[in-house]
Amino acid sequence: MHNDLHALRRILQHCRRIAVVGLSAEWHRPSFFAAKYMQAKGYTIVPVNPRYAGQTILGEPCYASLADIPRPVDMVDVFRRTEDVLPIAEQAVQIGAQCLWQQLGVHNDAAAALARAAGLDAVTHRCVKIEHARLFGGLHWVGVNTGMVSARRWT
């Protein structure tokens, strides 16, 4: 597994175009929050979610699957259930991605092994936003800097 700090830093330095599989258009969902953070840090986000295909999320066109993306992507960031990851890993290999990144709570060893066997980096059970903040200075004394402070109760 490429969950060591040196590998994570290298991946985040070189994988600048990220296909986010399972990206939600709802601002309060973790996938939206993480993608918006990465976009603000200069990464290109490519939304992948059949529910929103043909629409835009974070100002970017959304695709139904990885195969529908017209340009290469460096990283496939997966916000799906663990049992859904293996076919996504197969697609990541087919499209020539460099990294399969499984978000917090997502840990499919078979998908990671398939990705590694095909020459991709494989990260499991890590949040791309948290790792970027930790390695490149987005953490502050109060925790993760969300850029959003409010006393308003959201319902």
Region of 11 (left: φ > 0; alpha: ψ -120 to 50; beta: rest) is alpha
Specify the pLDDT at position 137. 81
Q: How confident is the model at residue 3 (pLDDT cuts 50, 70, 90)?
A: low
Each residue of 53-96: pLDDT tens digit? 999 999 999 999 999 999 999 999 999 999 999 999 999 999 99
Which regions of the chain does DSSP assign to beta strands (E)? 17-21, 44-48, 56-57, 60-61, 75-78, 99-102, 121-123, 139-140, 143-144
**pTM (two decimals):** 0.87
Does residue 23 contact residue 57 with C-beta atoms inside 8 Å?
yes
Specify the pLDDT at position 101. 98
Q: What is the CATH number of domain 5-144?
A: 3.40.50.720
| Domain limits, the chain | 5-144
Each residue of 15-56: pLDDT tens digit? 999 999 999 999 999 999 999 999 999 999 999 999 999 999
Each residue of 138-149: pLDDT tens digit? 655 444 445 544
Specify the pLDDT at position 4. 85
Greatest C-alpha distance within the chain: 48
